[in-house]
Chain A
Amino acid sequence: MRISELYLKNFRNVAENKFRFPADFTVVIGINGRGKSTLLHALRIACGTYFLGIPDVRSRHIVEDEIRVVDNQRFLTPQTPVIVEARGTFDESGDAEVVWRRRRESVSGGNSSTQADVGLVRSLGKQKYERMNSGAADADHLNLPVIAFFGTKRMHGAARNRGERRYARRIFVEGYRDWFEMRSTTFLYESWLATFDIYARQGREYPETKEVFFQTLRNANPRYLKEVDFIDGELWLRVELEGYDSQLLPISLHSDGVVTYMEMVAEIACRCIILNGYKRVQAVTHTYGVVMIDEIDLHLHPTWQKHVVADLKNAFPSMQFVATTHSPLIVQSLDRSELLNLDAAVVMMDSPDEMPLNQVVTEVMGVQDIRSDNFEQRYLESKARLAEISLENGNLTISDYEEVSRLLGEMLRAETNDPTMRAYLDESENRA
């Protein structure tokens, strides 16, 4: 499953708009209220269509609160029809694009599920469900997409005891448990790991997949994660961040950033394996699907934000990610095609990953007056001193030129984007 385009009408605050997802990783940015989360919510409805024919999994429909209302001063008028239409591909459909839509014609009515609107997608899911029930020897060779939505509340109650949810090896029930709002409190990976060895001995788990799970954690955090183990029902990690070595500790004692990110990765990996364990060593790398993450930078230090997108791509190379962020460092790590800017008034000349951070903030994210430090002051001082030099004498002496060079260097240092120029300034400073 891969969604390439989303069309919305009267959905939450979007009157009508179309969004494209040309890359496998898309990060949505925009001023608060521009509809970043709306986009994710709509994507969730589009993905949920897959479950309409699967009784084990809850679908996600357009609910009353998602109908756009227009305020005409004295009262609010709901706008219908509400349409969430998606275009995308499924592995069963090959390269051929499928279009499907959910529709709500009125406030009182339900969501339409006509054959024309959702038929094909519903039957794709249904076929897999029936195959699982067929009793064939390879009935679990389903090649199911991971579909998971991580909202901003994903981490509430993180790393606490979550004993009540037992993992019972039901592909659809557990593979898609709470997919529409993945919460730390109901994550399954711990119970899955806790029972893995015994199930593996009984031939119920694919033995390679446990190592695949740990390898995925390492792939998703190649810089900081030094050691990972599962001890006494809990994940233990040793993390080395900016020279600080945590030693091997249970995950609940780690920082919020480590907990939020590593648990999310662990849960996606676990869902990949529950759904497609039969792929054995490729269970994670060859599982496709759509993972939605609201505020991907949640609790992450800036240095970590710089590579979190690359890390996730590294760990889940077949997965489509759609995430939102307010972090310029995340934006700066993206290729042009990976950025979906809802304030798209500005035409980008360069790809964000080739821009300096200040340019990302002003040119891409539209922030004004970013040089709140004493930039203006320093700049004016240098300028005034330059003016003195040129006034004193029409023909400059070598020492005049040296002073000018130094002052220009000062002005440029505050300004320059170009790594070559920066290196040049540093180098000539050393010489002088």
Chain B
Amino acid sequence: MRPITKGDWPTDPHTGASLNFKNWKKAIQILKIRTGEYCHLCEMKVTNPIAIEHIKHKEAYPRLQGSWINFLLSCNYCNSRKGQNLLLNPYRRHYFWPHLHNTLLKFEYGLDGLTHPHRALNPQDQARAQRTIDLYKLDAANTSTGDVDQRHRLRLAALRIAIDRKIEFEKGICTVSAIVDSAVLSGFFAVWYTVFQHTIAVRDALIDSPAFCLAGTGCFNALHEPMDR
């Protein structure tokens, strides 16, 4: 899962006053600019439709429905999978979040294209990561039921493309910038990161790509190694 930084509560450029998000859809554009056009949870590239995910859902916490702190950018699949699932409080301590933690170190993708808790975590943190996965059903796989959830299929497609580029890169027939462009277009940053994490030139270019908005997250050291925040 790609870590993000939402930045401070946005302000009006003229008055300096904090923006009012009574209409929370207004936050979509700002979040897109600051964090990229990808679902914060499943990392799917989202054009339209895109939704604001209220971490604390707006029905039970009406006062938080316009709160910047409570917003994530989410595809409709993640947003509707969560629904009104009960959120454990305090949510910052019971789950891992892309805007609070370095989620590259908390989750990983297998070759099956599904989200798993990172194998390097201790059992307690693995359970914590699993709670996030369960909350948004991030490990929903394609089944024979004809489920409409497209996240797994799209992630598999990104994985396949990433692996093909990896093979080509090793054979010397694919450039770094071509790989980064493919990654930006296909979405699923962490899939590309996983495939290229030991291919330093590509890994660094992916991290530096402005489309993924990783500068300023404080999730990487000077050598582009991921670190906790």
Show the binding face of A for B, using Cβ within 8 Å: 346, 349, 358-359, 361-363, 367-372, 375-376, 379, 383, 386-387, 389-390, 395, 398, 401-402, 404-405, 408-409, 411-412, 415-418, 421, 424-425, 428
Contacts and interface: CB of A to CB of B under 8 A. Distances in A.
Contacts of A425: 160
Interface stretch (B18-26, B83-91, B138-146, B216-224): B138-146
Given A408-B159, A412-B160, A424-B161, A389 B111 contact: yes
Contacts of B7: none
B170 A398 contact: yes
Interface in B24-47: none
Most buried by A among B49, B157, B170, B171: B157
A261 B171 CA distance: 58
A416 B150 CA distance: 10
A77 to B, nearest CB: 40
Interface in B132-170: 142-148, 150, 153, 156-157, 159-161, 163-164, 166-167, 170
B153 A398 contact: no
A424 B160 CA distance: 10
Given A362-B146, A390-B110, A401 B167 contact: yes
Given A367-B146, A370-B144, 19 more contacts: A362-B146, A363-B148, A368-B145, A368-B146, A369-B145, A372-B144, A376-B144, A386-B110, A386-B111, A387-B111, A402-B167, A405-B167, A408-B111, A408-B156, A409-B160, A415-B153, A416-B157, A418-B157, A428-B164
Interface string B173-198: 00000000000000000000000001
A431 to B, nearest CB: 9
Contacts of A402: 167
Nearest to A346: B148
B145 A412 contact: no
Contacts of A409: 160
Interface residues of B, number: 27
Contacts of A415: 142, 153, 156
Contacts of B5: none
B163 A401 contact: yes
B146 A398 contact: no
B156 A412 contact: yes
B198 A361 contact: no
Contacts of A361: 146
A395 B171 CA distance: 17
Interface of B: 49, 76, 110-113, 142-148, 150, 153, 156-157, 159-161, 163-164, 166-167, 170-171, 198
Contact of A371 (B146, B159, B167): B146
A369 B146 contact: yes
Given A379-B142, A411-B156, A387 B163 contact: no
A349 B146 contact: no
Given A369-B146, A386-B112, A395-B198, A349 B49 contact: yes
Query: Which 8 residue pairs are nearest across A and B when measured between Cβ atoms?
Result: A362-B146, A408-B160, A371-B144, A386-B111, A370-B146, A376-B144, A405-B163, A363-B148
A395 B112 CA distance: 16
Contacts of A387: 111-112
A361 B198 CA distance: 43
A408 B164 CA distance: 10
Contact of A349 (B76, B144, B157): B76
Contacts of A346: 148
B148 A362 contact: yes
Contacts of B156: 408, 411-412, 415
Contacts of A372: 144
Most buried by B among A370, A387, A415: A415
Nearest to A348: B148
B146 A416 contact: no
A390 B111 contact: yes
Contacts of B148: 346, 359, 362-363
15 contacts: A349-B49, A362-B146, A369-B144, A383-B112, A386-B110, A387-B111, A401-B167, A404-B111, A404-B163, A405-B163, A408-B156, A412-B160, A418-B157, A425-B160, A428-B164
A361 B167 CA distance: 37
Contacts of A386: 110-112
B192 to A, nearest CB: 14
